[in-house]
Amino acid sequence: MLKVENLSKSFGDKKVLENINFEVNKGDIAIITGPSGVGKTTLIRCLSSLEKYDSGKIEISERREEKQYPVGLVFQGFNLFPHLSALENITFPLIKVKKHSKEKAEKQAKELLASLGLEGLEESYEYQLSGGQKQRVAIARALALNPEYLCFDEPTSALDSELREDVGEMLRGIAKKGTGVIVITHDKIFAEKYATKLYELGEQLELRNS
């Protein structure tokens, strides 16, 4: 379980998050909605250790390895390395961070790409990929570090209805393998369909259903 207790974060005099509390289990798809400016992106950046919070606690029980990166993040803009191929985007953190051999990293990367429907695109660069394909490479790169929980920042923005359904089914597949999924989105129809836990972030984070 990932448990957040009384999480607060300010930027200067502006309080962005105040006493936020929620829980996500492995296998959950927890979707957080809310208007722009309420701190949704700040929240998942705090969860994934990209932003330091001011007070409160983020606890993860039943960690597989204390040294691994427990919470991954798939950015809205994907943030792929444009000078690296799809395969290299995934092997780079495996070699640099997890110290895998090139052979082991490539084997894992190819398996991840194939599992996400990207077989045959291993040598493609960012400019050669569609938006949906870039997103899947970014997901594969995040999954390569074996996170307990994986956060998604607006994964359906600018996608048509068919691709939004593909993203939803992909999230279900990730959750079924035991990874906790945390999504922030403005897309309330998508949230209602795919969330196992649905939260709305305003002045507080409120659980809408479970």
pLDDT in tens, 57-74: 999 876 666 556 689 888
What pairing do the DSSP bridges indicate for beta strands 29-33 and 2-11? Answer: unpaired
Percent of the chain surpassing pLDDT 90: 54
Q: How far does Cα 163 stand from its chain's mean position?
A: 17
**Amino acid at the residue 68:** Q
- In Å, what is the CA distance from 165 to each residue of 125, 155, 171, 189? 25, 11, 10, 11
Going through 64-188 in order, the beta strands assigned E by DSSP cover: 71-74, 149-153, 180-184
Domains of the chain with bracketed CATH: 1-70+147-210 (3.40.50.300), 80-146 (no CATH)
Residue 78 backbone phi and psi in degrees, to 5: 70, -40
Q: Rounded to an integer, what distance in angstroms lies between the CA atom of residue 4 and that of residue 123?
A: 40
pLDDT tier, 105 (very low <50, low <70, confident <90, very high otherwise)? very high
Which two three-digit tokens encode residue 205?
A: 């984070």
Measured in Å, how far apart are the chain's first and last C-alpha atoms?
15
Give the SS3 label for residue 178.
Answer: coil
Q: Rounded to an integer, what distance in angstroms lies between the CA atom of residue 88 and that of residue 91?
A: 5
Residue 125 backbone phi and psi in degrees, to 5: -100, 165
pLDDT tier, 93 (very low <50, low <70, confident <90, very high otherwise)? confident
Q: In what order do the strands lie in the sheet with 149-153?
A: 71-74, 149-153, 180-184, 29-33, 197-201, 205-209
Other Cβ atoms less than 10 A from the Cβ of 154: the count is 18
pLDDT tier, 47 (very low <50, low <70, confident <90, very high otherwise)? very high
pLDDT in tens, 132-162: 889 889 989 988 888 899 999 988 886 677 7
- 122 vs 155 pLDDT, higher one: 122
